[in-house]
A and B are shown apart, each in its own frame.
Chain A
Amino acid sequence: MDLNPQTSMEKVTTRTTNEANKSAADTREAVIEMSHAKKSFGSKVVLEDVCMVLHRGENLVVLGKSGSGKSVNIKLITGMLVQDSGSVKVFGNEVKDLGEVELKALRIRIGFLFQSGALFDSMTVRQNMEFPLTRVLKLRDQAEIDQRVDEMLTSVGLLDAAAKTPSELSGGQRKRIGLARTLIMKPEIMLYDEPTTGLDPITSREISSLILEMQQKYQTSSVIITHDMACAKITADRIIVLNDGRFIAEGTYEELESSKDDLIQHFFK
């Protein structure tokens, strides 16, 4: 199976996605399997013949310039968008075939950190944290809810911000709270949509380190969409490069860094 038969990026010195998938699939459980997925909006093709595998406990970074289809890629995984053709399986279930109830059950196992943090403006930080516990997990024991909220806010170092509203927080704090709100559901898979965009380099590094720390603490498997190489370096076990809707290269940070391909080198400059 050749992912990109027509692309000039075949010359990339890193392994192909296919080879990597085959070798890894033998040893580790795949939690996400995307196979020949295509997605278009009208006449604009956003994803074309995309194949991707995420293994349990792995941090996979999807690298690509703006508009390359990175966000669409992870929205297919959550069922927020449906592919035109191909297959997207999460925990072995074909996402587009899931009914409303099954999709909800699947989404509870997946955490999604939005680029903006997507905190609910009308609620305080504590109410934001309680929202998924009371509305999704239907917890009623206030003591348990408080304990989980406090534990998670402590994990991201923002326990003292519990009474604040999102408008009183900085960009980095909003990302931390967004991460905490997602992790409070104890998801098995975390999807990060450009987690460091719009942050200064120091805060970006803090968020990247926090992602890694949380991944190790809560044993999640993660897909991190980014074009921030510092974030990729800190968080990635494996990197896939997306260009014009196709995956063009795959490898570790070091492997891609030594690539001779111009496009890939642009990310490292």
Chain B
Amino acid sequence: MEPISASFIHLDLVGVLLLLIFGFVGGLVSGFIGSGGAFVLTPAMMSIGVPGIVAVASNICHKFPKALVGALKRARYGQVDLKLGAVLGVSAEAGMLYGAHIQESIKTAFGHAGSNLYVSAAFVVVLAIVGSFVLYDAWTVHRTGAHQAEEKLTRLARWVQSLNIPGTMIYFPSIKTRISFLVTIPIGFATGMLAATIAVGGFIGVPAMMYALGVPSLMASASELVIAFIMGVGGTIKYGWGGHVDIRLAMIILAGSLFGIQLGAIGTTYVKPYMVKVVMGVIMIIVLVSRAIVIPVYLSDLQLIEPIAPENSKHLQNLSFGIMALALVIGAGIILRALIVGMHLHHLELAVAAATASLAARRKPLRLSPVGRFDHLLVATDGSDFSTGALRVAARFAKRNNAELTTMSMVMIGLDTEGMAADVIQRAEAETRAVLAAAQAAIRADGYDTRIELRQGVNPHKEIVRLADDQHADLIVMGRRGRRGLALMMVGDSTRKVIGYADCSVLVVPRAADIWQRRILLATDGSRHAERAAEAAGQVAKIFGLPITVLSVLRPKFDDVRRAEAQLEVDRVREALAQESIEVDSAVVEGVDPAAVIIESARQRGADLIVMGSHGRTGMGRLLLGSVAEKVIGEATCPVLVVKA
């Protein structure tokens, strides 16, 4: 008689490479979901000429060392319940022997086609029931967004855990309670039977642990590796005794699969637990399709249906194998993607934690400066309607703070004016004096007083800034041009330039605005001028006894580090203001258009003064106010205080 070893094939390079790749992908899936990586290996080996029994034997022989390495790795992550795996493994061993016995009986009675039909039918029935349930469960978790929530016990698991059969109770760490080992026997037995039938016992073992015993999914998939190890050793002894194990094949697959199983095990530490269900469910459903496709072939072989042409049978079988391999590739793809995304997020989390710690260590708590009390205010008017709001607010601010108030206006003397008759200039000057007198009268009518200043010059902004410097003004108050057409888009040219060149803060007041009475909104971006803005907002809040909302706007493109910094900065400003006994709240809001977010937040919170920092640039940069500040000033319906750093 020919020795069995004569059926061991000669290995070529392509065959070896294929086995390595299949081994790696299968290992990746097994490392992640506990099993399921081996079912393509038997047909894959057969496709390169390995006889069926040798393929099955060699597959099992590579599974137990793979499961051992995977179980050890995942035990290091605290995911393995060794006791549960061992208890289930013992009954699985019995189930496997019984499953193999049934297989042999069917083969004797109905031949090769009968055996294949039984295997395919087992695939389809088990995978349809369990696979759709697992996938539905994963979908429910995904849909409800309960990714982080603790996995819920099924009614069946609650009932199993409530059973108390004296003398049979065992404590399992993964379930954190005692259950009767009598319950584990059918589960292990079914797992073993399925392993003997379709080479993937875990498709019953893992869902049964999750749904019938209440084991968390990550621990179920890890403990399945213990069962796979026990069954693998048993299977190897059984087939090895018959001389069917080609150890070369097994070790080549192992060479690839150990890389895979390590990576799959690492992957479980980065993903949310429900991903185990997603991968398992997806693979199960695709494999179901692959096995359903070939059922007509076996029915035809058994002459239960009209015969199928041999070439069509071959095509269906090739298609079935292709889909089965695809299931594994898709499963591996989901795992790798989850691993890459998980690692990326983890690195970001670490970077955020490091940045937050370093920021917290580097930045001292903010202390509000006692200086800059708005003791001297300068309000500029051109006599137009646009100045009425500025005059009203300046007068009421000064009155409330008992501050010195100067109202200024100017006569424009330019190159073209010099050629004019003296009476024209005098008339212009008289008109400006009248404007100032009217302003003074209005302020007096409001119960306060103001000094008036008339200046002559070419550029309004230069005269305003010069006067503010001369008088050591703490604040310049100006009106805002109209809110229609171009004026809506642009802050008046003079206003922009005053903000750019003045050393003190500038308050821009829309025509209809009045003094603030409800709330101050402080927009902060964590910069140096934002600190000054916080100090100014604090001063105003104390003068008027108003609450402050500290707001930071995040653009969607900001990374996690920048978001963490923004939150930290907002907290820091809030704490500093709270220490000054100011009522303060804060918000970090995301938006594409920060100016629109600031204006909308002010409206929603009933804020009637917005405080912002200004860059305080030098040179040409002085002319650039910053698009956010300019838009807020241009569109806000309340006064906007621009604080210079």
Decide if A and B are genuine partners: no
Task: List chain B positions with a Cβ less than 8 A from chain A.
Answer: none
A→B interface (CB under 8 Å): none
